[in-house]
Structure 1
Amino acid sequence: MTAGEVRRGELLALALLSAGMLLYELVLIRIFSVLMWYHFASLSIGLALLGLGAGGLAVGLKPSLGSAAYRARFTLVFAFGVVSVLLYLALMHSLPELSRLTLAPFHQPFYKPFERAQTTDLDVELAVRLTVLSVGVGWPFFFTGVVTAGVLRERAPDIKKHYAATFLGSALGCALFPLLLSYVSAPAALGVAGAFAALSAPLWNRSKSMKWTGTAVAACFVALCVWAEVSGSAEIPFARGRYDPDILAVRWNSMSRVAAFSLPPDDMLRPQGQSVKYKGEQPRQIGLVVDDSGYTNLYDGAQSAANPEFFRANLVAMPYHLRPGAKALLFGPGGGKDVWIALSFPGVTVQAVEINPQVVEMVEETFGAFTGKPYSDGRVKLAVADARRYARQDSEKYDVIGASAVFGRLPPSAGAFTLSEDLLHTAEAFEDYWDRLTGDGILSVTRFAYEQRALRLTALARDLLERKGIAEPGRHIRVVSDRGLANVMVSKKPFEAKDDEKIREVLDRYGFDLLYPYQGAGESQLSRIVDSKNVEEALKDIPFDVSAPTDDRPFFYYTVRPGDFISGSIPGRAGFDDRGAEILRLSFIIMIVISTASLLLPVLYLRGLPRVGRKSFWVLSYFFAIGFGYMVLEIGTMKRLLLVLGHPVYAVTVTLLAFLLGSGAGCLLSERMAPSRKKLGLWLLVIAVLGAVQAHFTPHLLSAVMNYPFAARFAIALLVTLPLAFAMGMPFPAAISQLGESSGNLLPWIWSVNGFASVCASLGVLLLAMNFGYSATLDMGAACYLLAFVSLAGLGTGLSSDEGMTD
């Protein structure tokens, strides 16, 4: 076999291994979103980067581990590690105790909003559980890191083709992910990810025995995928935050998992928002959960149609009492409750906008005989679309625009990099809704009154009215509640006396409360937000940050002030999402500790700092800066694309695809485009400028194309991202090439430092965006490349090759 054939085999093997690794990483995101709080989805990215960095370090400490003799075996170890997660999920069906010990504590108690989940106790036990979980699913990445680092070390300094192969293979995995999950569940998809990796084994070792072994293992893993999908034996037996082996139906795609389950009688008794004075029959119901915490119910269609008073006695129905015969626009109606509420009033017509096609499938097809297919009712029109874009492009006007409480979260269906962001509850979103209201239309948003949700909604309403130049916002706002649920209503024209009279009548009939205008002595926090002449001062007096979120910082559910988050002091009664963010901070700390222990301390203890003449500090700072900056700009770009593409899954797909393809092309052309230190420095400055453009100018461009067809928006998002991604593909291979012959010895250390920075950034950038916004996030990414430029300049001029760089 010629050297060229060996080289081509290596490139294909790297591509297949990288495709399997990225598939595993993305499938873990989906699984984490179902098993635990969606805050944990981003852990898989950090774990992948940590494994790759640790593998690079292992090769640095013991170069023989990266030799060709081990690559096929390590590839198979990775493949078996991936499939072990599938087998673990299957084992939970036989040993439910496993789910309680390892997974159940990460759930919020189902429909118990005032009860704290176990995870809010930030103790040693939780830290141990998180560590065990991280190691349990993250260890396979280590072997991918060993194989990849071994190849790059062997081929240094001419690594551009091999480095590009890892990007292009990962791009293949990224492109296959949404297609794969359109046909199989996430647990079953693990078998395909393992098969991709197993197919690369015969390319590392061309022996006949390995050819048959690798092919047979890949075939077995594909068969395992088919078995898991057909039998359902590896389906995640979780619904409503507890083990449930009798889930009625499950639907997967890259967007979410939707599961239907039987509702225990206690879960249907007097839910918040349903009048305690209502004594009639309740329609039969089936529970529906999107991933971990997006709850909605399906209602018996015949019983619902025969019992309209049940729905009229709901807090969500308030605007229909005020606007008889309304034309309604409903965002996120989920299982159909909001639709049934609207149809319980004579003459009402409904335009429903639901983003998740699987939820619609459950309502209209899977359980159509039960629900009576409310979306097919002649009074209802359905659009499967993103609410923000629909509000932008729709030309109709509506008497009522409504979004109810339970199914209000998009993040659980998002998976990656989401935390608690919500672009449906921002200042810009409320302006879009306002434009769709008739002259006396009402915007009605129902959320839990606890955890500062009602305060933040009221602040959004006040901000909207100020933007519209309304001098007396209190005349346009009414807030009513039932126990822990609040309905914030904003009227385009001032509420009239007859409206207030009708509100009092409904409150008396159903036992609801009026929160604003405040009826008690003194003033409430709500009244201070609405009536204060200086709303900024009123908001400062509240311990939590309940200011109006914006598209740049759209974290509606996150109300901890940045200073409190950094200090670790969360005042008062922190909410569910705030506690989840607290867990994320703990995860970040744990990842830094693990990364330091596995990436930095061993090499410092065993080898000391690598020597690059007198320039070691600048070399290490350069690779740290580009490692941190790459992740910051990549994740920040995902955030920028979310609004124009309509769903986080699409934003993740476009961003990863663009960065992997663009950076792969940049790697291949790095020798030509950045052959000297001077030209490399120019590219670093280009990246910094493009990062600043993403932060401050791209949002205006993307906003202008929101009404374009999806294919056009997809293409524009790709084109906006590719130049930055292309430029960012050059700094690593170009610098390795310019290190000269010494790069073979330096590469494992560089890989480790670069990996450590990437791990820190993968979670740290989320905390930055959550507290300071997307623009600040992207600005930091741009600043990292300026730091890399300074590091490059710090190497000085006239370096000889034995000092580590050539010019």
Structure 2
Amino acid sequence: MSATKELLPPLMKTESVLSERTLLAGVALSSFSALLLELALTRLFSVVLFYHFAFLAISIALLGLGAGGVFAHLWKLRLNAWETRRVAMMSTLLAAIFIPVVLEVVLHVPVALRLSAGNFLRLSVIYLCSAVPFLLTGVQFSTIFARESSRIPRIYGADLIGGALACLVIVPLLNWIGGPNSILFAAFISAIAAALWSATARARRSMLALAAVLALVMGLNVSGRLADIVWAKGVRRKNVEFARWNAISRVEVDHDDNGGRVIVIDADANTYIMNADISRWQGSGWQNNLMSAAPAVVNALRPHGDYAIIGPGGGVDVLRAVANGSHSVTGVEINPIIANTIMRDRYADYAYHLYERPDVHLHVADGRSFIRNARESFDVVQMTLVDTWASTAAGAFALSENSLYTTQAFREYFEHLKPDGIIAVTRWEFREPREALRVVSVAMEGLHQLGVTDASQHFILVSDGDLDEDGIPVAVLAKKSAFTPEEEATVTQHLRDYEDLRLLYSPFEPKPNAFSRLIQSNDPEAFTRTYEYNVTPVTDNKPFFFFTVKLARLLNLNSN
């Protein structure tokens, strides 16, 4: 006898009273709840854990659903004593109860990026607890599919419809109610499914009461008043003044010990909100601090230029450009919480209404798409530390796609520059250079595609101090035309004024380092063959900018 036949209950009269409408609606709701939970967990894990753990939710779902099927097979004799409707009702009820428990566990169990027994244990707790709702769904679906074999096509269709609806609503749900409430909404739908599966009016009322309680908790948890991030990346969140979720990220504003306000994205990347009065810029501490940073070199070269700034965040680059004399600064910020809620609303006064100035034009859009479709040309296209150093150092973005740093993207940036325009990209760099080095490689290939045969005269590189440790910002300036002696003199004077800055490369003063060797080779592919890291130009077909480890080096590290 097949396993399917063995799962059938002794009496078939149970199936005759289970209407097709109830069956299909119940399966669709359960599928909706399970997939919504899986998708919401990816967003929550990317904040609480690390970006490279975000897809842990997929393996958790597969583990739970598979374990549920195994459980249904091993316990088939006991399950045969229950009607299908009761199995489904109990599974969805328990899932509705356990999903809030999962939320609390994920929010309150700290996991750091350290290889230790304690971290492994805590990660295992999160993993196993998160798998329980999927296990319950697996038991439910295995039982239904085994007992309702004559209606499998329609059941499977209902399953797909429920999952598809979850994929459609996850983005608006994250935008409207946030990450924790999206998980609670999955519990709410599971409770509604339990009410649908209930065979008696009394049981149905109990399930609906549970759904009402969950809805009330969601209502009370607006803005995270009941359940929000407590631990993230192994660190307890504190000094949080404001927090909000959307489909892109979780954004909070913290206050530091000196009274500053910092925007923190997914409990990782951060950008300070500029609290500077531009009318008092000259000779101020703000001028000294901001102009002594590597990205400020482009402001010295183009003080009155038209700027396009991708990812302006709290306004560092915007303030620098306006204060130095630019009459047109276009900011392109992808996250509406940062652009609108924080910078133009809640903290507008604190930022001296920087983003509401007539010479600042802020757009909520993808940076590359905006530049590609822009009708005007710019003197400078600037990107400063658009991605976070912490995730880069952890290897979190190694296999993440990034379309901002591809050859095709840089060609689009060059095409929207004026004849003597500059692309200014600042990246965190290592003692063994690779990220800023790859920026040079990508920009060089973009110049080659525009007809520049020798790009050695088109680069200037400056760092925030010596590259004697990991995490030093390096500004890569790639000019559409060759740099002139006058521009070289301007950079030299700026470095004299701010002695902590270091010149890594200029056409008139190449240094004995990897940057000079790459630029003077004029051939990124040939340079990479003898370099320790893969810094070849990346393309839209393979936009893995942060994956710089060569296979041979990886195998060598593993062998050691």
> Do 2:427 and 2:475's aligned partners in 1 also have CA atoms closer than 8 Å?
yes
Which whole-Å CA distance do the structure 2 matches of 1:487 and 1:521 have between them?
Answer: 15
AA aligned to 2:505 is Y
Residue in 2 that maps onto 1:79: 96
Tell whether 2:408 aligns with 1:428: yes
Q: What amino acid does structure 1 have at the position aligned with 2:128?
A: V
Q: Which residue type is aligned with residue 454 of structure 1?
A: A
TM-score (norm. length: structure 1): 0.61
Residue 103 of structure 1: aligned partner: 110
The amino acid of 1:135's aligned partner reads L
CA distance in structure 2 between the partners assigned to 1:390 and 1:20 by the alignment: 36
1:354 maps to what in 2? 333
Distance between the aligned counterparts of 2:345 and 2:207, measured in 1? 42
Contact 2:111/2:122 (<8 A) preserved: no
Partner of 2:439: 457
- Paired residue for 1:697? none
Correspondence for 1:58 among 71, 92, 102: 71
* Aligned residue number for residue 387 of structure 1: 367
Cα distance in 1 for partners of 2:41, 2:163 equals: 15
User: Alpha carbons of 1:30 and 1:193: their partners in 2 closer, same or farther (altered >3 Å)?
Assistant: same
**Between Structure 1 and Structure 2, which shows a larger proportion of strand residues?**
2
Q: Is 2:524 the counterpart of 1:507?
A: no
More helix by share: 1
Identity of aligned residues (%): 29
> Conserved in 2, the CA contact under 8 Å of 1:410 and 1:422?
no
User: In the alignment, is residue 485 of structure 1 matched against residue 473 of structure 2?
Assistant: yes
Q: CA deviation at 1:229?
A: 2.1
1:253 aligns with 2:246: yes
Cα offsets for 1:2-60 (capped at 9, x unmatched): 94862220111111111111221121111111112111111112211221112122223
SS in 1 for 2:277: helix
Q: Any unmatched runs of 5+ in structure 1?
A: 93-98, 107-117, 266-283, 573-807
Counterpart residue identity of residue 261, structure 1? D
Offset, 1:260: 0.4
Give 1:533 deviation, angstroms: 5.1
Give the structure 1 partner of residue 131 of structure 2.
138
The CA distance in 2 between the partners of 1:231 and 1:386, in whole Å, is 28
Which of 306, 324, 340 pairs up with 2:303? 324
Structure 2 counterpart SS, 1:370: coil
Residue in 1 aligned with 2:557?
569
1:594-636 deviation per Cα after TM superposition (whole angstroms, max 9, x unaligned): xxxxxxxxxxxxxxxxxxxxxxxxxxxxxxxxxxxxxxxxxxx
**Aligned-residue CA RMSD in angstroms?**
2.8
- SS of 2:405's partner is coil
Does the CA contact (< 8 Å) of 1:296 and 1:407 recur in 2? Answer: no
Q: Secondary structure at the match of 2:264?
A: strand
Determine which of 29, 37, 42 is the counterpart of 1:29: 42
Contact kept, 8 Å, 1:54 with 1:142, in 2: the verdict is yes
Select the residue among 468, 480, 485 that pairs with 1:497: 485
1:471 correspondence with 2:453? yes
Residue pair 1:246, 1:261 contacting (<8 A) in 2 also: yes
Counterpart Cα distance in 1 of 2:438 and 2:510: 22
Gaps of 5+ in 2: 1-13, 466-471
**AA of the residue aligned to 2:90:** R
Equivalent AA in structure 1 for residue 254 of structure 2: F
How far apart, CA to CA, are the structure 1 residues paired with 2:510 and 2:337? 49
| AA of the residue aligned to 2:451 | G
Q: 1:239 to 1:505 in 2, by over 3 A?
A: farther
Offset at residue 61 of structure 1 (A): 2.8
Distance 1:409 1:164 in 2: 45
Change (3 A) 1:469 1:175: same
Counterparts of 1:400 and 1:292 in 2: how far apart (Å)?
30
Offset from partner CA, 1:667-688 (integer Å, 9 cap, x none) = xxxxxxxxxxxxxxxxxxxxxx
Query: Number of aligned pairs?
Result: 526
1:536 aligns with 2:492: no
What residue is the counterpart of 1:149 in the other structure? 142
User: Structure 1 CA distance, aligned partners of 2:534 and 2:385?
Assistant: 20
Q: 1:80 is aligned with what amino acid?
A: I
Q: 1:333 aligns with which of 294, 312, 322?
A: 312
In structure 2, C-alpha distance between the alignment counterparts of 1:297 and 1:241, rounded to whole Å: 22
**How many angstroms apart in 1 are the aligned matches of 2:217 and 2:279?**
43
The secondary structure found in structure 1 opposite 2:307 is strand
Task: Give, in whole Å, the separation in 2 of the partners of 1:534 and 1:322.
Answer: 27
**CA displacement at 1:422 relative to structure 2:** 1.4
Secondary structure of the residue aligned to 1:178 is helix
- Asked if the contact 1:411/1:419 (under 8 Å) is kept, the reply is no
Give the SS at the match of 2:273: strand
Aligned to 1:302: 277
Alignment of 1:159-558 (within 5 A): 159-229=152-222, 232-238=225-231, 242-265=235-258, 285-302=260-277, 306=281, 307=284, 309-310=287-288, 311-360=290-339, 361-405=341-385, 420-450=400-430, 452-483=434-465, 484-511=472-499, 512-517=501-506, 523-532=512-521, 534-558=523-547
Alignment of 1:399-798 (within 5 A): 399-405=379-385, 420-450=400-430, 452-483=434-465, 484-511=472-499, 512-517=501-506, 523-532=512-521, 534-562=523-551, 564-565=553-554, 567=555, 569=557
CA distance in 1, matches of 2:223, 2:361: 35
**1:168 to partner: Cα distance:** 0.6
Contact 1:38-1:419 within 8 A present in 2 as well: no
Q: Is the 8 A contact 2:406 2:442 kept in 1?
A: yes
Deviation of the 1:340 alpha carbon: 0.3
- Asked if the contact 2:488–2:508 (Cα under 8 Å) also holds between the matched residues in 1, the reply is no
**Cα distance in structure 2, aligned partners of 1:71 and 1:492:** 65
Q: Secondary structure at the match of 2:221?
A: helix
Q: What is the distance in 1 between the residues matched to 2:161 and 2:244?
A: 30
Contact 2:278 2:323 in 1 (8 A): no
